[in-house]
Amino acid sequence: MARPGVESVSGSLILPGLPPEGLSEIEAAIDGETQSLVLLRRGERLQAWLNVCPHAGRRLDWAPGKFLVDQGRLVCAAHGASFELEQGLCVAGPCRGASLVPVAVRVAG
């Protein structure tokens, strides 16, 4: 079930407010299925991806909402794949060259 306040409209998710600075996690209904999302907030800029590593389909976080970051890159807790945080591109590890799946998000208001 989606957490309260997150809704989907015209292919993008609308958040009730800005998440904390840095990486965080939310669950939202996408195409009728509950999905975990990685959110990245830098100032007013907000990006989101499915919380799924393209290597083996496992979550990226080591515990819900707890992410490994090394040298400014998101690191998959399961197999060590390393993703740059501009486009979600895997730059090291078993899925090098693959990308995280982006999700369009915006803040209500």
Q: For 67-101, what is each residue's pLDDT tens digit? A: 999 999 999 999 999 999 989 999 999 999 999 99
DSSP summary character for residue 93 = S
Q: How far is CA 44 from CA 41, 50, 72, in A?
A: 7, 20, 18
Strand order in the sheet with 45-50: 22-30, 33-42, 45-50
Tens digits of residue pLDDT in 23-37: 999 998 888 888 999
Domain regions of the chain by residue span: 7-107
DSSP letter assigned to residue 61: -
Residues forming a β-bridge with 68: 75
Identify whether the C-beta of residue 84 lies closer than 8 Å to the C-beta of residue 99: no
pLDDT at 28: 86
Q: Which CATH class is domain 7-107?
A: mainly beta
